[in-house]
Amino acid sequence: MKIETAERLSAALDQAAVQISGWSELESSVSEVVVFLESLLGILHQFKSREQVRDRLLDFDEPPAATVSLIEATLRYAPRLLRGWFGAKTKAYTESQREPKGRPDAIAPDRFRTVCDEVSAWDRNGRSQAESKKLVARKYGVSSKTIHRIWLKRSQYPQDSVTPLEAQEYASSLFE
């Protein structure tokens, strides 16, 4: 590689390294950054200065001009891409570590379909819908309004493989 090409590429790498080091969320994403940097460290350990990069590049054959342009463009945009990637990873990690906001659910969401099935079972056995909701609320130790809110969104809950006959048998067992 010509000295001018090696000089241009090592300057671009140096600029990319300076821009990358300006990460604003390094402390909040240490675990994510450390894994990446340890792997990168193995590669970059041999390139401690711009001159070492240039000297290493001199060992290679001169690449076509289009390849040099592509490498320079990649190094020019790499800091932005890496900051965006680390920013997204950091945000996802911090969101996953955050405590949920608001009140905890009185009934676990995976039980919503069962609650609706129980209201339906009472309803099919001749109880009014309001009375059915009160009976189910009493069973779960919550207010009938909580059951009503769950009931209003019943079309959003995944269907179980329970047939109407099985639901009716279950409801019958409640009255025995």
Say yes or no to pLDDT of 11 above 60: yes
CA distance 112 to 88: 33
Q: Is 82 exposed, middle or buried (0-12, 13-18, 19+ CB in 10 A)?
A: middle
**Are 47 and 77 within one domain?**
yes
CA distance 143 to 155: 21
In a domain, 104, yes or no: no
Identify the domain boundary among 44, 69, 97. 97
Interval 31-75: pLDDT, tens:
444 555 565 566 666 777 778 878 877 888 888 888 888 778 877
Is pTM beyond 0.85? Reply is no
Let me know: does 116 contact 132? Beta carbons within 8 Å: no
In a domain, 102, yes or no: no
* Residues spanned by the domain of 116: 109-175
Between 64 and 25, where is the model more confident? 64
Count how many domains the chain has.
2
Interval 113-167: pLDDT, tens:
889 989 999 988 899 999 999 999 999 999 999 999 999 988 887 766 666 667 6
**Are 52 and 138 within one domain?**
no
In a domain, 103, yes or no: no
In a domain, 7, yes or no: yes
Identify the domain boundary among 97, 126, 156. 97
The reported pLDDT for the residue numbered 137 is: 93
Identify the domain boundary among 69, 97, 125. 97
pLDDT band for 23, please (50, 70, 90 cuts): very low
Q: Which long-range contacts (CB under 8 A, 24 or more apart) does 25-32 make?
A: 25/86, 25/87, 25/90, 28/90, 28/94, 29/86, 29/89, 29/90, 29/93, 29/94, 31/93, 32/86, 32/89, 32/90, 32/93
**Are 89 and 11 within one domain?**
yes
